[in-house]
């Protein structure tokens, strides 16, 4: 019988085969190769010499046939009961094996997620004389190819099925569609599907699932619509995959329409469909629907509970998420890694380390700590609770780390201001991990900007260019912010001008850069250009332009932009926007209007906005308003050292020394101490931080000696110049 397997495939498989299987392959003696191309599918067809087999063809007697039926039935039962080891032992001991025997044992390995052993058996089957390769055999082999991502084997089987006309079987063609889709060959899968004369539910769900999992959700929905018109019938999986397509494409209307059909077709009782519905509504931003669906479930499983917990976390209802986790445990449903990842995220957002540590212990007992989703969530938990050492310990103990693990630990140290440690993790990542993604690089650029580390920031920029992520919006805006915060507006402008695409994040970063460095007119000019390029400013953009107006003293223009937020762009001003306007009025000396705006804000005024007014009172010498403002701040924060000192300075500027002495005495009685300001210096890529009169540095004596010497020389220099 002619063979349809390419010699190349056998050569690829040979190094991985056990010795027994390799000896079987030696029976292959290709003498002639014919390249065949049919319907766009290329297959290599080899003719082999007929050779003796270790298995003889069974005699065609009634007794023998009856015996084979019994043996195959027993073999099927063992496979069905997942007793594959016993099934294989029985298979190996069988005196004869027919097509049913081979198909059954191969299917057993496919169902047990062992595609390699299934394909080895199929190779063994292929060299058995007298066995007919039927549609079921080829279909099972194609499933093994799909499971093992073996496109070479799959294409060879496709070629054979075309030559033998087995491709006309709906079983084979459906398996071909499924195989091509799962190995990422979407175009070939669609071609096979379009050439099918007959299609069943499996064919349709295979093409739809392949498109959806391949990122073609809209196309998947179009095929589902065609399936609906074809009246071929439906199953729960078809509805579930269509709902996933709706979720991935954020097509809420399609999802609702499919939901309606699930009710009409009687699939609304299927827990599988209900869970997919809940996931769809969650992704489409309808948490209320998720909760209602959950309440209707008779016996929610772990997927149901996990979806509910995730929904609560995403909507900021972390306490409800933790409560749902407790209820799930009481109901007897065991949590999986995704459940733990979700509830750990809830604890992280609440910054309740005790709950997180209890769950961590539970995860350790269950042996789920090695799951990437769990470990990554634990790193985030400990970082948000300020326990960076534990976050680092979790990271270092991970047997396997993905891009999220590396990005998270780098972001953790970057956000905490530990630049050296963040860059150390980047070096480690470059040695042993994957390529840094935009999130990790943006985090490093952020800490470089926050700590004015220009040289390390430039190194990250070089890395960005090397990887080719310079046009990613997150990285591009982080580069602009980094250069701006390091005082290099020229470089920031160069990066901004070099972009090929326009995004509001980068424009906002450039506007903020100009505003922070006093180039207010440049910031305003840039803001005015935004509508002309088809972009809309967001709430962060308005913070930048209002800051620019504040620094420029442009009160009227600032009010114009402030009012346009609601009138033109439907953006409700936040506390930050009001803070910018209050700062604008305070800088302009319009303290009465500033105080009126504070009192008329649509939300509770905190000590930050009142402190802005207090500083303005000191600048403009408004003693009475300053005293009232200070009293208001101290009612919110009685131990605010800055408020006491600013009020004392207001009195001192007016020569009211008794009030100054009273405030100093009050601070002493309260135990209020001004927190010292920290400074740092970068020497040979190593950061040294210090405060006033700090002697904690190991070389503090040498530093103080050098400082005193420099100070003495400086005095002598000025004294010498005075008497010349």
For residue range 210-236, what is the model confidence (pLDDT) as tens digits?
999 988 998 988 888 888 888 788 788
488 with 500: CB under 8 angstroms?
no
Q: Do the Cβ atoms of 334 and 300 come closer than 8 Å?
A: no
d(CA 651, CA 663): 10
* Mean predicted confidence (pLDDT) in 450-469: 90
Task: Look at residues 86, 91, 94, 122 and name the one whose alpha carbon lies nearest to residue 106.
Answer: 122
Indicate whether 2 pLDDT > 90.
no
- Is the alpha carbon torsion for 688, 692, 695, 696 positive or negative? negative
Q: Report whether pLDDT(372) > 90.
A: yes
Can you give the pLDDT at residue 444? Answer: 93
pTM of the predicted model, to two decimals?
0.70
Tens of pLDDT, residue by residue over 288-346, are 999 999 998 989 999 999 999 999 999 999 999 999 999 999 999 999 999 999 999 99
Q: Taking a C-beta distance cutoff of 8 angstroms, is the pair 197, 214 a contact?
A: no
11 has a pLDDT exceeding 50: no
Q: In this prediction, what percent of the chain has a pLDDT beyond 90?
A: 51
Quote the CA–CA distance of 460 and 470 in Å, as a whole number: 11
Q: What is the pLDDT of residue 515?
A: 92
Bridge partner residues of 683 (DSSP): 686
Confidence check: pLDDT of 4 > 60: no
Res. 405 pLDDT band, cuts 50 70 90: very high
CA dihedral 414, 420, 423, 429 (to 10 degrees): -100
Helical (H) or strand (E) element with 78: helix 62-80
How high is the mean pLDDT of the chain?
Answer: 83
pLDDT digits (tens, 9 = 90+) for 682-718: 666 566 666 666 666 666 666 667 666 665 555 544 4
- Confidence class of residue 17 from pLDDT cuts 50, 70 and 90? very low
Q: pLDDT-derived band of residue 27, with 50, 70 and 90 as boundaries?
A: very low
Integer CA distances (angstroms), 471 to 182, 411, 504, in order: 31, 20, 13
**Residue 219 or 27, more confident:** 219
Higher pLDDT, 339 or 21: 339
Q: Is the pLDDT of residue 33 over 70?
A: no
In this structure, are residues 101 and 59 in contact, taking their beta carbons and an 8 Å threshold?
Answer: no
Question: What is the percent of the chain where pLDDT is above 70?
Answer: 84
Residue 637: the pLDDT is: 85
Residue 80 has pLDDT above 50, yes or no: yes
Per-residue pLDDT band for 73 (boundaries 50, 70, 90) equals confident
Given a cut of 50, is residue 667 above it in pLDDT? yes
pLDDT at site 274: 92
pLDDT score of 193: 92
- Look at residue 285 and give its three-state secondary structure: coil
Q: What is the mean pLDDT of residues 619-632?
A: 91
Domain 1-50+58-198 class? mainly alpha
Q: Is the predicted pLDDT of residue 164 greater than 70, yes or no?
A: yes
Q: What is the rounded average pLDDT of the residues 530-558?
A: 93
Q: For residue 681, which phi and psi values (nearest 5 degrees)?
A: -140, 140
Distance of alpha carbon 302 from its chain centroid, rounded? Answer: 22
How confident is the model over 17-43, as a mean pLDDT? 33
Residue 65 binned pLDDT confidence (cut-offs 50, 70, 90)? low
Between CA 78 and CA 66 the distance in angstroms is: 19
Give the three-state DSSP class for 3: strand
Max mean pLDDT range (71-80, 174-183, 666-675) = 174-183
Residues 374, 375, 378, 382, Cα dihedral to 10°: 180
Across residues 643-650, what is the average pLDDT?
89
Domain boundaries, the chain: 1-50+58-198, 693-722
> Is the pLDDT at 586 greater than 70, yes or no?
yes
Q: Highest mean pLDDT range out of 3-12, 570-579, 675-684, 685-694?
A: 570-579
With contact defined as beta carbons under 8 Å apart, do 636 and 606 qualify? yes
Q: 420 is written with which tokens? A: 């050296």
Give the single-character DSSP code of 58: P
Comparison of pLDDT for 100 and 670, the residue scoring more: 100
Say if residues 170 and 199 touch (Cβ distance below 8 Å): yes
Neighbours of 647 (CB within 10 A): 25
Distance CA 261, CA 296 (A): 18
Q: What phi and psi, each to the nearest 5 degrees, are found at residue 48?
A: -115, 155
């Amino acid at each position: 019988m002619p063979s349809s397997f390419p010699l190349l495939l056998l050569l690829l498989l040979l190094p991985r085969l056990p010795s027994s299987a390799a000896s079987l392959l030696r029976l292959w003696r290709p003498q002639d190769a014919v390249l065949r191309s049919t319907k766009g599918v290329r297959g290599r067809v080899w003719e082999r010499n007929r050779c003796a087999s270790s298995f003889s063809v069974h005699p065609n007697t009634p007794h023998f046939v009856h015996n084979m039926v019994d043996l195959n039935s027993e073999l099927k039962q063992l496979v069905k009961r997942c007793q594959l080891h016993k099934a294989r032992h029985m298979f190996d001991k069988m005196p004869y094996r027919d097509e049913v025997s081979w198909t059954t044992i191969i299917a057993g390995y496919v169902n047990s997620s062992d595609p390699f052993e299934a394909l080895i058996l199929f190779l063994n089957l292929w060299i058995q004389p007298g066995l007919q390769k039927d549609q079921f055999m080829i279909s099972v082999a194609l499933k093994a190819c799909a499971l093992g991502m073996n496109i070479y084997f799959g294409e060879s089987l496709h070629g054979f099925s075309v030559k033998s006309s087995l491709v006309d079987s709906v079983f084979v063609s459906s398996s071909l569609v499924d195989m091509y889709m799962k190995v990422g060959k979407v175009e070939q899968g669609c071609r096979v599907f379009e050439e099918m004369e007959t299609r069943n539910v499996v064919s349709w769900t295979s093409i739809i699932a392949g498109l959806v999992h391949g990122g073609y959700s809209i196309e998947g929905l179009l095929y589902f619509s065609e399936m609906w018109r074809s009246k071929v019938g439906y199953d729960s999986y078809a509805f579930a995959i269509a709902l996933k397509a709706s979720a991935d494409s954020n097509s809420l209307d399609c999802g609702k329409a499919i939901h309606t059909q699930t009710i009409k077709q009687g699939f609304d009782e299927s827990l599988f469909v209900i869970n997919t519905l809940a996931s769809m509504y969650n992704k489409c931003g309808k948490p209320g629907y998720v909760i209602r669906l959950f309440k209707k479930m008779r016996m929610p499983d772990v997927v149901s509970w996990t979806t509910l917990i995730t929904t609560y976390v995403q909507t900021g209802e972390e306490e409800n998420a933790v409560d749902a986790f407790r209820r799930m445990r009481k109901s007897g449903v065991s949590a999986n890694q995704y459940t733990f990842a979700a509830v750990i995220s809830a604890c992280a957002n609440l910054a309740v380390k005790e709950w997180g540590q209890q769950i961590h212990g539970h995860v350790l007992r269950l042996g789920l700590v090695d799951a990437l989703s769990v470990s990554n969530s634990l790193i985030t938990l400990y970082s948000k609770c300020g326990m960076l050492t534990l976050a680092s310990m979790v990271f270092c103990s991970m047997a396997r780390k993905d891009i999220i693990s590396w990005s998270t630990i780098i972001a953790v140290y970057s956000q905490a201001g530990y630049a050296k440690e963040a860059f150390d993790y980047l070096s480690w990542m470059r040695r042993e991990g994957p390529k840094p993604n935009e999130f990790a690089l943006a985090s490093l650029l952020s800490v470089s900007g926050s700590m004015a580390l220009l040289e390390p920031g430039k190194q990250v920029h070089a890395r960005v260019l090397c990887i080719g992520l310079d046009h990613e919006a997150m990285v591009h805006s982080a580069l602009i912010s980094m250069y701006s915060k390091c005082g290099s507006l020229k470089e920031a402008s160069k990066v901004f001008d070099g972009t090929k695409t326009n995004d509001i994040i980068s424009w906002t970063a450039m506007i903020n850069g100009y505003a922070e460095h006093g180039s207010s007119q440049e910031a305003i000019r840039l803001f005015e250009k935004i509508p002309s390029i088809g972009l809309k400013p967001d709430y962060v953009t308005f913070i930048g332009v209002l800051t620019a107006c504040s620094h420029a003293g442009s009160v009227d223009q600032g009010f114009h932009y402030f009012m346009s937020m609601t009138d033109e762009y439907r953006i409700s001003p936040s506390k930050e926007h009001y803070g910018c306007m209050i700062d604008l009025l305070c800088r302009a000396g319009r303290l009465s209007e500033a105080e009126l705006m504070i009192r008329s804000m649509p939300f509770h005024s905190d000590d930050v906005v009142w402190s802005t007014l207090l500083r303005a009172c000191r600048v403009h010498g408004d003693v009475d308003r300053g005293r009232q403002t200070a009293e208001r701040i101290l009612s919110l924060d009685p131990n605010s050292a800055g408020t006491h000192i600013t009020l004392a300075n207001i009195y001192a500027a007016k020569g009211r020394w008794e009030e100054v002495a009273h405030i100093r005495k009050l601070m002493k009685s309260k135990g209020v101490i001004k927190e010292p300001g920290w400074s740092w210096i970068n020497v040979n890529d190593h950061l040294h931080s210090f405060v006033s009169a700090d002697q904690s540095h190991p070389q503090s004596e040498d530093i103080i000696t050098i400082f005193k010497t420099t100070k003495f020389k400086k005095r002598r220099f000025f004294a010498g110049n005075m008497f010349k």
